[in-house]
Structure 1
C-alpha cells in the first residue's frame, strides 16, 4: 500500500471501527477502481469493541442487524460478546482486502480543504512524527464518543473510600473482583451489562440508580436463524433474519412511541415475570419517562433479572449522599457496603473525533452546519461522516450511508466532476440537534452537535425501511448538491496521482 504522505488517495477513512471497516468494504465491493486507506489512531481495529474491556462487554442490539448486510453473521449468538464482534470485523477486513490498508497509530489532527486543487490535506500524527496526507474525499468513521475522556461526576467523600473506584471506559487489565462486594452507579446499558457479568463471581453486586431505566429481556440466540441455517445458505438465512429483525425493531419502537402506556405495561409484565415474587417493581423498574424516550436496555436471556432472583445482585434506587470508607451512603440513610465502586455514569461526545475542519483557510463551525442525508455537513466539500441509528442497530444506518456515498462518487465520475457540496437552503428553516434524543450524554453535549432540518434531505431519519426506499428511489444527485470541477485535479479524475 502506498504511504499516506506520498500518494493522493481518492478516500481517506478516519477510524477502523465498525463504521470504518464497513465503509472500506463497500468501497472495495462497489468501487474497486478507487484508491483508499484507513487512518486509525489506535493500535488495533474495532473502535468501541477494542476500547472497552469491562466484564461482559457485549452488543445491545442483535447481530443480524448490527452486522453488515453483505456479510452474514455466523455465530449462533444474536446478542454477542465484544470478542465475537472483533472476530467478525477481522474476518470482514481480511475478506475484502481491508486489513492491509489500515495505517495504525495514525491520528488525524487537522483537515483542510483547498477548492483550487479539490483536495483535502490531513495533518496526521504518525509513528515518525507529523505528516501531511492528501485525498479527494474524507469519510469520518470516528463515531461520536470521546475515547480519551468519559463523563465522570465527582462524589462527595470519594477520597475517604477505602476500595477501588473504576470507570468502565478505563477498566484495569486483569482486575480481580471475585469475592468482592461491588456497587455499580448507573442505570444504562453498561450497568445492565456489568451487573450479571460480575454477579457470577462477586460476593454481591448492587446497582445504584438515581432513576430506573427500561430493561427488556431478549433471547441471546435467534430461533428463526437456527431453523433457517439448517436448509438455507448462510447468505439467504442472514437476509431473511435481518429483514425480520429490522421490522421488529421498527414496529416495537413505533408501538412504544405511539402507545406508551400499553408499552410500559408490556415491559413491566416481562420484568415482573422474571423477578422474585412481591419484588418492589414500582420502585426499581418504573422509569419517569416513556419507553424509547431513551434507548431500551437489553437483557439477553433475562440475565439481569436472573442475577437478582438468585440473590447475587440487588438494586438501590435513590440519590447518593456521599462516599464513606466502607461504601456509598444514600440520602435515605442506607449504606451500600462495597469493596469496589464502578461509576457507569456515561460517556462524553466528541463529534468527528474532535478534528478541526477548515475550508479554504476558514475554520468550519460544525454546530452551525446542517446535515445532508445524515452524512454531509452543509458547505463542507467532499466530506462525509457516519452516525448510526439511536433507535435501532447502528450499522443499519452506516450501510445506507456507505452505499449512497459510493453511488454519489460514481455519479460524479460519470459527470467528470471532482467536488461535491451540500448547500443549505437559503430560507431559514426550523432546526434541531442532529441527535434528537433524551439520553444524558446527548443532552450534555447538545451545543457541540451539528443540526438537522425539518424535512428531507436535511432531516436525520430514524427509519431504516424509509432510508432504504430513499436510497433506491430518490436521485443520487439531489438538487441540494452542487457539483464542480477543480482546475488542478481535472485530469486526475478516477486516476492515481503520485
Structure 2
C-alpha cells in the first residue's frame, strides 16, 4: 500500500470487508473504474460477522433474497448458514475481481482530515508495524458492533460458578457439551439458533430469558422461487421477482405491526403455539412491547419450538438473582443447575469501529453532531458510512448508498470539487438534538447501551436515519447533489456554487 504524505493517494478508502465493504467495493470497481480504491480489513479474510461467529447453527435472520446483493442472484434457501453466506460472498468477490482491492490484517487506528491538503491521513497497523496512507474519501463499512467481544452483563457470583461460561461470539473450538446440562441465557435470534443446534449433544438445554421475543416460525423455503425454477425461469428474473415480493410483503407486515399491532401479535403467537400445543404457557413468548419495536427473527421450520415440544429443551422466564456454584439462582428462589452457561446476551455497539477521527486537529465527537440521512455527519468532510435497516435487510442500504456514492463522486468530478461536507441549515440547528433512534419506535438493549456513541438526529427527515427502506429507495436517488445542504470546495479551498456549475 502507498505510505507517507504526497505519495500515491487513494481516491476512496473503504473500511471493512464484510457484507457492506464488499458491496461498496463492487459499486466503485464496476461503476467508477478510473478511481483508485482500496479496502482495509482488520481480520485475515472477508465476511465480518459471518467469519467471526462460529457457534453451532450460525445463520441469517434475514432472507437472502434481500440480504444478498442486488446484482448477484441468491439460489439457496431464504435463511442461510454462515458458510453459505461466506461462499456467496467469495463468489461475488471472484466474479467481480474485487480480491486485488482488499487488504487483510489492516487495522485502522486513526483518521485525520486536513482542510489544507484536502486529504484524510489514515494510520493503520499490519503484522509488520504501523503505516499511513492518504485518501480523498473514506467510506466506512464496518457494521455496527464490536467483533472482538460480545456483551455479557456483570452478574453477581459469576466467579463462584464451577462450570464454564461461554459467549457465542467467542465460541471455543474445543468445547464439549456431550452429556452436560447447558443453560443458555438470552431471548433473541442467537439463543433461538443455539438451543436446537446443541440440544442433541446435551443431557438437556434450558433457555433462560428475562423477557420474551417475537419470532416468526415457518418453512425455510420460498415456494414461488421454487415454482419459477421448476418452470426454468432465468435466475436473474427469479432474483428480481422474489426480491420485490419479499420487500412488498415486509413493508405491508411492518405497517400492520404499527397499525394493527394486536392482530399481528395474535398471529405471531398463534404461529408459535402451532408447534407447542394448546396447553403450552404462551407467556414465555409474549413480549411486553408491540411487534417490531425490536427485531423479529425468523425461525426456520420452528426448530427451537420443536426442541421444546420434544422435551430436549425447556424455557424459563425469570430474572437472575446471582450465579451460584451449581448454576444460577433466580429471583423466584429456584436454582437452575448447569455444567455450561452460554450468555447469548447480545453485543456491544460500536460506531465506525471506535476509530478516533480528527478534522484539522480537533477530535470528532460523534455524539455531539447531527447525522445527515444516517450516512454523513455534519462538518465532517468526504466521509460516508453505511448503517443499514433494523426492519429490513442490511444489504438493501448498501446498494442504495452505493448508488449515491457513485453519483456523488461523479458530480464532484463534474463541478471540480475535491471536498464535500454536509452543513446544517439554521432552521435545523435551532432544533433539539435527539438520540439516534426514537425509543418508542425501536428500542433493543444494544442500542440503548450504546446510544452515547451514536450521532444525534433532529426532527427533520434529512437529519436522521429514517430506517424506512420503502421511502429511501425512491427518495435517495432523487437527492439534489447541488442542494444547499452540500458545501463543495476546490483544491484551493474556494467554495463552489454548484447551482452555477450545474447551469453551466
| Fold shared, TM-score > 0.5 on shorter chain | yes
1:237 deviates by 0.6
For 2:9 and 2:394, the matched residues in 1 are separated by 31
For 1:403 and 1:257, the matched residues in 2 are separated by 30
1:251 and 1:258, CA in 2 relative to 1: closer, same or farther beyond 3 A? same
Query: Could you list the runs of 5+ residues in structure 2 that have no partner in the other structure?
Result: 496-504
Equivalent positions of 1:175-324 (< 5 A) are 175-230=175-230, 231-282=232-283, 284-324=284-324
1:154 deviates by 2.1
Specify which of 423, 431, 434 is matched with residue 429 of structure 1.
431
Contact 2:403-2:477 within 8 A present in 1 as well: no
Question: Deviation per CA, 1:133-170, whole angstroms, max 9, x where unpaired?
Answer: 00110011111101223221122222222211001111
Matched, 1:162 2:201: no
For 1:53 and 1:439, the matched residues in 2 are separated by 23
Q: Report the counterpart of residue 153 of structure 2 in structure 1.
A: 153
For 1:110 and 1:303, the matched residues in 2 are separated by 44
1:91 deviates by 1.0
Query: Could you list the runs of 5+ residues in structure 1 that have no partner in the other structure?
Result: 491-498
For 1:445 and 1:124, the matched residues in 2 are separated by 25
1:489 deviates by 12
1:310 deviates by 1.1
1:179 deviates by 2.4
Equivalent positions of 1:328-347 (< 5 A) are 328-347=328-347
For 1:4 and 1:306, the matched residues in 2 are separated by 56
1:287 deviates by 0.9
Equivalent positions of 1:108-119 (< 5 A) are 108-119=108-119
1:178 deviates by 2.5
Contact 1:118-1:489 within 8 A present in 2 as well: no
Contact 1:178-1:202 within 8 A present in 2 as well: yes
Q: Report the counterpart of residue 448 of structure 1 in structure 2.
A: 453
Contact 2:186-2:345 within 8 A present in 1 as well: yes
1:312 and 1:330, CA in 2 relative to 1: closer, same or farther beyond 3 A? same
Contact 1:404-1:476 within 8 A present in 2 as well: no
For 2:477 and 2:494, the matched residues in 1 are separated by 31
1:219 deviates by 2.6
For 1:364 and 1:155, the matched residues in 2 are separated by 34
For 1:136 and 1:229, the matched residues in 2 are separated by 45
For 1:322 and 1:373, the matched residues in 2 are separated by 43
Q: Report the counterpart of residue 495 of structure 1 in structure 2.
A: none
1:4 deviates by 5.7
Question: Deviation per CA, 1:108-151, whole angstroms, max 9, x where unpaired?
Answer: 11111111221110011122211110011001111110122322
Q: Report the counterpart of residue 476 of structure 2 in structure 1.
A: 471
Question: Deviation per CA, 1:265-299, whole angstroms, max 9, x where unpaired?
Answer: 111111111113401112x1111111111111221
Q: Relative to structure 2, which stretch is displaced further, 468-477 or 85-94?
A: 468-477
Q: Report the counterpart of residue 485 of structure 2 in structure 1.
A: 480
Partner SS for 1:191: helix
1:381 deviates by 0.5
Partner SS for 2:426: coil
1:488 deviates by 8.9
Q: Report the counterpart of residue 106 of structure 1 in structure 2.
A: 106
For 1:232 and 1:325, the matched residues in 2 are separated by 60
Q: Relative to structure 2, which stretch is displaced further, 425-434 or 292-301?
A: 425-434
Give TM-score, length-normalised by structure 1.
0.94
1:484 deviates by 1.0
Contact 1:27-1:34 within 8 A present in 2 as well: yes
- Aligned residue pairs total 487
Question: Deviation per CA, 1:18-59, whole angstroms, max 9, x where unpaired?
Answer: 000010001112111111001111111101111111111100
For 1:86 and 1:478, the matched residues in 2 are separated by 40
